[in-house]
Amino acid sequence: MDNQGLSQKNSDIISHNKTLEREINLAKKIQTKLLNGEKPKLGKDDISGVSIPARLIGGDYFDFYPLPNGKLRIVIGDVMGKGIPAAMLMILTRGAFRTAAESTTGPGGTLTAMNNATYQDLRKLNSFVTVFCADWEPETGILTYANAGHSLPEVIKKNGERTELPKVKGVMIGGLSNQIYHEEKITLSEGDVVCLYTDGIIEALNRKGELYKKERLEEVLKQHVDKSASEIEGEVINSVMEFTEKLPQKDDITMVVLKVGEESTDIYGSNSLSLKQ
């Protein structure tokens, strides 16, 4: 190949790389917009969510879906894998959740519908998704939840004590067909904090190869239980960054924080005009 041919080949490679970079950045923008949608207003209650991908785009997912009965459906998930493939499956998971949230009466039914909708596709791709889904009812303070192979949330009382959630097991989405996901519930009180999270937090590594671990997360939540949801979220992220010394991580870091306020009122969100009948 002559010099002119080599020059043309290099030019084509550079052009191809630039196109690929633009497409990746566009994918990141789309994912960021999906994960950073309008957060619901909860009256005196407070909720916040954040996701920090390990790569340009990630496979973690959280979402809020206001329901017509005044409840708020919350979901957090972790797709097996990293990068673009995981992000594509995250979009599939989001679509399944949104569809299921409209047609099911509770978190268990939502997970069952999500598994039914995505099982065949996930099996073809030899993948799965861990998902935790919960309904928050402001009027009663009841959190009803179901689990598909995900870590249970941390619950810290106003006085700083940790509360153990009643355990509920379920196979990860895409793990087995025709699954029925059962529910449990807990009653929360003023000032309580619930932190939903993915493994990227407790499995974050420092330069010594040590894990951040659940115990460290619990301590941060206890120390800052009196703060707002977004402030608690920030304290956890700061703690993880300090522990890892900002070392690049292998897994996405995602959490949702719910802080119970002094009193409960209506939920307003993009999915309902008047949610409290």
Pairing of strands 142-148, 46-52: unpaired
- Is residue 7 assigned to a domain? no
Mean pLDDT of 159-185: 96
- Is residue 28 assigned to a domain? no
Mean pLDDT of 104-108: 94
Residue 222 bridge partners (DSSP): none
- Is residue 17 assigned to a domain? no
- Is residue 13 assigned to a domain? no
Closest CA to 204 of 254, 264, 169: 254
- Is residue 276 assigned to a domain? no
- Is residue 227 assigned to a domain? yes
**Position 89 pLDDT exceeds 60:** yes
- Is residue 15 assigned to a domain? no
**DSSP designation for 225:** T
> How many domains, the chain?
1
- Cβ neighbours of residue 159 under 8 Å, at least 6 residues apart? none
CATH number of the domain that residue 92 is part of: 3.60.40.10
Output the pTM of the full model.
0.85
- Is residue 76 assigned to a domain? yes
Burial 13-45 (b: 16+ CB within 10 A, else e): eeeeeeeeeeebeebbeebeeebeeeebebeeb
**Position 270 pLDDT exceeds 70:** no
Check residue 264 and give left, alpha or beta (phi > 0: left; psi -120 to 50: alpha).
beta
- Its domain, for residue 95, covers 41-259
User: What is the reported pLDDT for 28?
Assistant: 63
Q: Tell me: the pLDDT tens digits for 20-61?
A: 667 666 666 666 666 655 778 888 899 999 998 887 677 898
Token output for 245: 């010394």
